[in-house]
Amino acid sequence: MKLDKSFVRSVIAVAAMAVAGSAAADITVISFGGANQKAQAKAFYAPFDKSGQGKVVPGEYNGEQAKIKAMVEASNVTWDVVEVESPELVRGCEEGLYEKLDYSRIGPKSDFLPKAVSDCGIGIFVWSTAIAYNADKLKTAPTSWADFWDVKKFPGKRGLRKGAKFTLEFALMADGVAPADVYKVLGTKAGVERAFKKLDELKPSIQWWEAGAQPPQLLASGDVVMSSVYNGRIAAAQKEGKNLKVVWNGSIYDVDSWAIPKGTPKRDEAYKFVKFASQPENQRVFAGEIPYGPTHLKGINGIDAKIAADLPTAPQNLKGALASNTEFWVENGEDLEQRFNAWAAR
């Protein structure tokens, strides 16, 4: 029994240390993981640690709001700053999951892109979902979503993000709807039917992905010939020497934002981090690491021309691109995601 007692004692000691360690003055910053997180670590976390204002504990999720809701409702908030997509930000703000931001602690609103400024969040970067393909495996380059749907001309599997958001828009564009009209059409019952019908056509060839790191791997391994991707992930794969290309036509861009969950005990530190990460020079470093566009107007100005050409915000990339309609997804998100899920499982 002697052995057991000392064992128990040491286990308790280790546990106490670990629990105490996680309760120290670090702030937990949750992002979407993968290459995006790596870039954030270089551009935001490490410099923030160095600035002596606090230490960042990085974490990752896939955008599910359930955990945040649970934490806020239990008044036991352990995430201090969270990267959130636009519809979730609006919904979370209405539901009281996020702090209403005090912009005097961050910077004047006029310094940022109008799309990046909202009640509960401040834009981190502009990202885009576009078509990517493996140039080593495809002889001719696809140029549109219609090509993406054309399994005769481009035989093979396609990757799409498992979810209604953007997938329905892509389907409509493939069906000949002009980008400017996509949300008008999707706003009608007939439009939704049309999108699902178009998806039916491609269903046997679709390989669904959930995490942003998957499509570059699927493309590189040849499991799919083309895929919808977060544009930044492709740049990361290109750096590793893979011949992946992005088609900007028909891409959908949106802003990811920092939000502070309501009731975090480290609100002041969280504000400090958000302010720090919203500085143009830090955003510029971020854009250099992964081609997502800065939201700070000055961050855009000072950017290297070579990097700027790869950003979703570059004029030539915006041609034929579509801005995500946050309002639409706030309103219809739950319904369409549920229907999409039922459709996909069938």
Partner 1 sequence: MLQPYASPVERVWYYAMRGLVGLVLLFLFLPILVVVPLSFNSDTFLMYPMGGFSTRWYAEIMNSAVWQKAMLNSLIVSPLSTLLAMILGTLAAIGLVRTDFPGKALLTAVLISPMVVPVVIAGVAMYIVFAPLGLTGSYTGLIIAHAVLGVPFVVTTVTATLQGFDFNLVRAAASLGANPVSAFFKVTLPLVLPGIISGGLFAFATSFDEVVVTLFLASPEQATLPRQMFAGIRENISPAIAAVATILIVLSTLMLITLEALRRRNERIRGIRS
Partner 2 sequence: MTAASPTAAGIVSTRPEPSLKKRLRRAELRKKLLYGTLILPLALFVLLVFVWPIASLMTKSVENPEVHDNLPQTLRALKAWDGREVPPEAAFKALAGELEAARGSPAIAAVAKRLNREETGYRSLIMKTARKLPLAEGEPARSALIEIDERWGTVEPWQAIKRSGSATTAFYLLAAIDRSVDAKGDIVTAPPEEAVYVDVLARTFWMSLIVTGLCMALGFPVAYLMANLPVKHGNTLMIFVLLPFWTSVLVRVAAWIVLLQNEGLINKLLMWLGLTNSPVPLLFNRTGVYIAMVHILLPFMVLPLYSVMKGISPVYMRAAVSLGCPPFKSFWKVYFPQTLPGIGAGGLLVFIMCMGYYITPALLGGPQEQMLSYFIAFYTNQTINWGMAAALSAVLLAATLVLYMIYSRYLGPSAKAVKAR
Which residues are at the interface with partner 1 (CB under 8 A)? 1, 8, 11, 14-15, 18-19, 22, 28, 30, 33-34, 57-61, 67, 70-71, 73-76, 78-79, 210-211, 213-214, 217, 221, 240
End-to-end CA distance of the chain: 57
The length of the chain is 346
Question: At its nearest, how many Å lie between partner 2 and the CB of residue 162?
Answer: 7
Report the partner that residue 15 touches, choosing among partner 2, partner 1, none (CB closer than 5 to 8 A by kind). partner 1
Does position 64 interact with partner 2 (CB under 8 A)? The reply is: yes
Question: At its nearest, how many Å lie between partner 1 and the CB of residue 227?
Answer: 15
Q: What is the DSSP letter of 261?
A: B
Nearer to partner 2, 52 or 241 (CB): 241
Tell me if 167 sits within 8 A of 186, measured CB to CB. Answer: no
- Distance, in Å, from the CA atom of 257 to the CA atom of 321, rounded to the nearest integer, reads 20
Strands 121-134 and 293-294: antiparallel
- Distance, in Å, from the CA atom of 79 to the CA atom of 262, rounded to the nearest integer, reads 10
The token pair that represents 47 in the structure block:
């410099």
Q: For partner 2, what does the binding mask look like between residues 122 and 161, x meaning CB under 8 A?
A: ----------------------------------------
Give the one residue of 49, 60, 150, 331 binding partner 2; rule: CB under 8 A.
Answer: 331
- Distance, in Å, from the CA atom of 41 to the CA atom of 286, rounded to the nearest integer, reads 9
Q: Which of 51-76 are b and which e, b meaning 16 or more Cβ less than 10 Å from the residue's Cβ?
A: eeebebbeeebebebeebeebbeeee
Report the partner that residue 180 touches, choosing among partner 2, partner 1, none (CB closer than 5 to 8 A by kind). none
The residue ranges that bind partner 2 (CB under 8 A) are 64-67, 69, 73, 91, 94-97, 162, 196, 207-208, 221-223, 327, 330-332, 334-335, 337-339, 341-346
